Amino acid sequence: MAYEGPNAAVFGRLTTHFGLRSDQAHKVLTLHSLADINRQLHKIQLRVANHELENVGAYTAKLFGV
């Protein structure tokens, strides 16, 4: 499921780098502001860099409530 529009890059990051399914990524973009999404993704990236997360997709989904 492709995503069109100004948030296509964020949708791609959510599905490619953060392990969300397309339906979950759509829900995140619907429920959260772009600023909030980017802030949370930055925090997740820091945790990944510090090897604090084993399942990035599950953590991302839980963090955004999807």
Give residue 1's pLDDT: 54
Q: Let me know: does 28 contact 37? Beta carbons within 8 Å.
A: yes
Residue 42 belongs to a domain: yes
φ and ψ of 53, to 5 deg: -120, 135
Residue 3 belongs to a domain: no
Number of domains in the chain: 1
| Between 22 and 2, residue with greater pLDDT | 22
pLDDT in tens, 7-46: 899 999 999 999 999 999 999 999 999 999 999 999 999 9
Structural domain boundaries enclosing 33: 8-64
Residue 59 belongs to a domain: yes
Residue 57 belongs to a domain: yes
Structure tokens at 41: 């993704």
Banded model confidence at residue 4, pLDDT cuts 50, 70, 90? confident
Give residue 2's pLDDT: 63
pTM of the model: 0.87
Cα distances (angstroms) measured from residue 52 to each of 10, 56, 64, 65: 23, 10, 18, 20
Residue 1 belongs to a domain: no
Alpha helices by DSSP H, 1-66: 8-16, 22-31, 34-49, 56-64
Q: Let me know: does 56 contact 45? Beta carbons within 8 Å.
A: no
